[in-house]
Amino acid sequence: MARKLLPLLLFALLLSGAARAQSDDAAYCAELSNLYRRYLGNVGERQFPDAAAAHAMNQCQKGNYAEGIPVLEKKLRDARFTLPKRS
């Protein structure tokens, strides 16, 4: 009986860990997006919006954190921002 239960328990633990990681990525991506919008997203009269950052923020909203996070991290680092702690 215990041998049958062990794989189910391991599977449940893996799923909960994956869900928590995705939730952490969602919060981190949202925080990066907010920082970018607040400090770098304002477009002056002669500046063009950053299409790569806009695409990255859009990816975060769609749940594609793996594509959005690295771009926003790079944009913020290049602008000499300290990145927030990642959970």
- The span from the CA of 53 to the CA of 69, in Å, is 10
Domains held by the chain: number: 1
Q: Is residue 2 part of a domain?
A: no
Is 10 a domain residue? no
First to last CA, the chain: 37
Q: Return d(Cα 56, Cα 61) in angstroms, integer.
A: 9
Rounded Cα distance, 59 and 57, in Å: 5
Tell me which residue range forms the domain holding 85. Answer: 21-40+50-87
Token digits for 77?
A: 């680092």
Within-domain flag for 7: no
Per-residue model confidence as pLDDT tens for the chain (87 residues): 556 665 555 454 444 444 454 579 999 999 999 999 999 987 665 566 689 999 999 999 999 999 999 999 999 999 999 999 987
User: Is 67 within the bounds of a domain?
Assistant: yes
